[in-house]
Amino acid sequence: MPTVKRILVTGGAGFLGSHLCDRLVQQGHDVICLDNFFTSQKSNVTHLLARPNFELIRHDVTHPLWLEVDEIYNLACPAAPGHYQYNPIKTMKTSVLGAINVLGMAKRCRAKVLQASTSEVYGDPDVHPQPESYKGSVNPIGPRACYDEGKRAAETLFFDYRRSNKVNIRVVRIFNTYGPRMHPFDGRVVSNFIRQALAGQDITMFGDGAQTRSFCYVDDLIEAIIRMMNGPDDFPGPVNIGNPEEFTIMQLARQVIELTGSKSKVVNRPPLVDDPKQRQPDIALAKRVLDWSPTVPLRDGLTKTIAYFRSISLDAFRAPTPNF
């Protein structure tokens, strides 16, 4: 494999994708960022447009792709619940047809291909923390199923292309990740709480706030997925990537209020249907095989994210869906 690689990042203008493009461009690779801008906007990557080793393509992964590359990171998919539930059939198509299209392309040009899967494949888990061997507890007909089952089907396709066609695959299961460039209107908990706290608005707590999540700072996540792509070919995953420090959503709200110095009050709203009650990655496998562990504590990551949210003008962002 040459030192300078041609790398495609689908969903490359999104929150995670734009940070991944930054790192790959910085490493000197030829980077193609492909996006349909459903849940993002060009401003996440405009700083890269003048770089000779960066190219931006507007395209939808549900339609075939024809490019010549050495590696593909497949991140294209709405990730926030309000975004993926807005047009659930399109979400399922994006996961399944998107996987078929990148896998077909990887097969043709013998590229390595990495799938951004998710902790949602574990559903509302009854095993805690969740190891990769846990098969999950997903409601196949609920409002989250378009995303959960779409991502599960994509994992199936990745492993079938490996078994049947010897495609060189990687699958990472990403747990809640946050940081600068999250869309301010994505409705995810970190972006919502920070936006609400900075505006002095009520903090919307779905349910009693006892549900838990484990939050990984974006820089840690990007480091892990690049290590996974460059890891051994006989380790396709799936591998959990996340920060195992677990917090209740109420603890998160209190921390955001403290760090922003906000006078916002927490208000309880009805719990969401099928909202997972607990989520914490078991990252023993990533530690062992990738020699990776997260390094950024929640407090430090939130401080950087709050600084980002203070620096942007909300008028520059279009809400991708009404659900935030």
Report the catalytic residues.
147
Residue 14 interacts with which of ligand UDP, ligand NAD, none, CB < 5 to 8 Å by class: ligand NAD
Applying the rule CB under 6 A, the residues between 176 and 235 that interact with ligand NAD are: 176-177, 183
Residue with Cβ nearer ligand UDP (80 or 218): 80
Binding span for ligand UDP by CB under 6 A among 13-21, 67-75, 90-98, 198-206: 198-206
Instruction: Check binding of 292 to ligand NAD (CB under 6 A).
Output: no
Contact pattern from residue 272 through residue 301 relative to ligand UDP, giving x for each residue in contact according to CB under 6 A and a dash for the rest: x--x--------------------------
Residue 313 region by backbone torsions, left for phi larger than 0, else alpha for psi between -120 and 50, else beta: beta
Backbone angles phi, psi at 72, to 5 degrees: -130, 130
The residue behind tokens 């950087």 is 304
Instruction: Check binding of 211 to ligand UDP (CB under 6 A).
Output: yes
Residue 315 DSSP SS3: helix
The answer to whether the beta carbons of residues 71 and 8 sit under 8 Å apart is yes
Instruction: Check binding of 184 to ligand UDP (CB under 6 A).
Output: no
Interface residue with ligand UDP, options 102, 113, 154, 189 (CB under 6 A) = 189
Whole-angstrom distance, CA of residue 152 vs CA of residue 149: 5
Q: How many other CB atoms are found less than 10 A from the CB of residue 163?
A: 10
Interface residue with ligand NAD, options 94, 260, 278, 305 (CB under 6 A) = 94
Q: b/e string for 182-197 if b means 16 or more Cβ within 10 A? A: bbbbbbbbbbbbbbbb
Residue 190's nearest CA partner among 249, 271, 108 is 249
Instruction: Check binding of 16 to ligand UDP (CB under 6 A).
Output: no
Contact pattern from residue 24 through residue 63 relative to ligand NAD, giving x for each residue in contact according to CB under 6 A and a dash for the rest: -----------xxxxxx-------------------xxx-
Packing angle, helices 88-109 and 145-165, rounded to 10: 20
Q: How many other CB atoms are found less than 10 A from the CB of residue 244?
A: 16
Whole-angstrom distance, CA of residue 97 vs CA of residue 117: 15
Q: What value, to the nearest 5°, has the Cα angle with vertex 20 and ends 17 and 26?
A: 140
Which residues, including other chains, have CB under 8 Å from residue 288's CB and lie 6 or more apart? none
Binding span for ligand NAD by CB under 6 A among 12-20, 45-53, 133-141, 271-279: 12-20
Interface residue with ligand NAD, options 7, 8, 16, 228 (CB under 6 A) = 16
Instruction: Check binding of 130 to ligand UDP (CB under 6 A).
Output: no
Interface residue with ligand UDP, options 192, 280, 305, 321 (CB under 6 A) = 192
In the complex, the residues that contact ligand NAD under the rule CB under 6 A are 10-11, 13-17, 35-40, 60-62, 75-79, 94, 116, 118, 174, 176-177, 183
In the complex, the residues that contact ligand UDP under the rule CB under 6 A are 80-81, 176, 188-189, 192, 204-206, 211, 213, 249, 272, 275
